[in-house]
């Protein structure tokens, strides 16, 4: 009985330790390429990147973040000109140039919500997906491919340079704040309804974008 209990406890501690373990990567050289892979279906976040190499040696490729075999969710990635960390809730991206580097690490946009369906769900044929996107270049909410289904029931607000809480999506309508967002330093977006990220935080002067999976929707003030 005690042997069985000890075995079970060992297994539980093993997976608990892996779930809260953290990978730390420091690079003395500028990292050549980053790909941030965010999967809302699998609820995973990871980063793929390469470091500079000298011909004819093959480039070194690395992966940090969610990994089924490693069981790791948390990671910190340091390069001389950029920083990425993820603690299972907050993904933080920072560089020395918001316009040219930080926002481009996310391919210039942030997915707000995502849904999918099959024409024939029993055999998973006829796949379709819809998502709302916040464009980091135009500061507009965009859709791919059909926005109407994704807008229904959504309550999303924004604060611009510490303004009062303003509607961004409400009553199936998108509110236009792109002019103010383009000139602002700090942009915050909050989702009261189901979303991939409940808070998006941008501070251009610090080259920072933070994406929060969980965050308390603020009061309007």
- Domain ranges in the chain? 1-75, 89-221
Using one digit for the tens of pLDDT, what is the confidence trace for 188-221? 999 999 889 999 999 999 999 999 999 999 987 6
Which two three-digit tokens encode residue 214? 């969980």
Q: Match 């024409």 to its residue by tokens.
A: 119
Instruction: Report how far residue 91's alpha carbon sits from residue 210's, in angstroms, rounded to the nearest whole number.
Output: 6
Q: How far is CA 146 from CA 128, 135, 202, in A?
A: 10, 16, 26
Using one digit for the tens of pLDDT, what is the confidence trace for 155-189? 999 999 989 999 999 998 999 999 999 999 999 99
Q: How far is CA 33 from CA 99, 145, 170, 179, in A?
A: 17, 29, 38, 31
Using one digit for the tens of pLDDT, what is the confidence trace for 118-147? 778 788 888 777 788 999 999 999 876 555
φ, ψ for residue 60, nearest 5 deg: -85, 130
pLDDT above 50: residue 75: yes
Pairing, β 166-170 against β 156-160: antiparallel
Element (H, E) at 61: strand 60-65
- Output the pLDDT for position 59: 78
Strand partners, 148: none
Instruction: Report how far residue 74's alpha carbon sits from residue 88's, in angstroms, rounded to the nearest whole number.
Output: 6
């Amino acid at each position: 009985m005690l042997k069985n209990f000890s075995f079970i406890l060992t297994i539980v501690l093993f997976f608990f330790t892996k779930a809260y373990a953290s990978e730390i990567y420091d690079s003395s050289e500028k990292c050549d390429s980053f790909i941030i892979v965010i999967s809302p279906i699998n609820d995973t976040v990871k980063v793929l990147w390469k470091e500079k190499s000298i011909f004819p040696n093959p480039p070194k490729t690395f992966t940090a973040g969610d990994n089924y075999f490693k069981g790791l969710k948390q990671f910190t990635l340091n390069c001389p000109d950029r920083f990425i960390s993820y603690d299972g809730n907050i993904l933080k991206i920072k560089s020395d140039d918001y316009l040219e580097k930080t926002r481009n690490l996310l391919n210039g946009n942030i997915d707000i919500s995502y849904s999918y369906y099959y024409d024939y769900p029993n055999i998973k044929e006829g796949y379709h997906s819809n998502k709302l996107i916040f464009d980091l270049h135009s500061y507009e909410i965009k859709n791919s491919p059909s926005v109407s289904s994704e807008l229904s029931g959504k309550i999303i607000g924004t604060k611009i340079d510490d303004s009062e809480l303003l509607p961004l999506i409400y009553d199936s309508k998108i509110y236009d704040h792109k002019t103010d967002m383009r000139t602002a330093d700090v942009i915050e977006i909050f989702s009261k309804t189901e979303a991939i990220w409940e808070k998006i935080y941008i501070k251009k002067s610090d080259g920072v974008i933070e994406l929060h999976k969980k965050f308390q929707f603020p009061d309007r003030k």
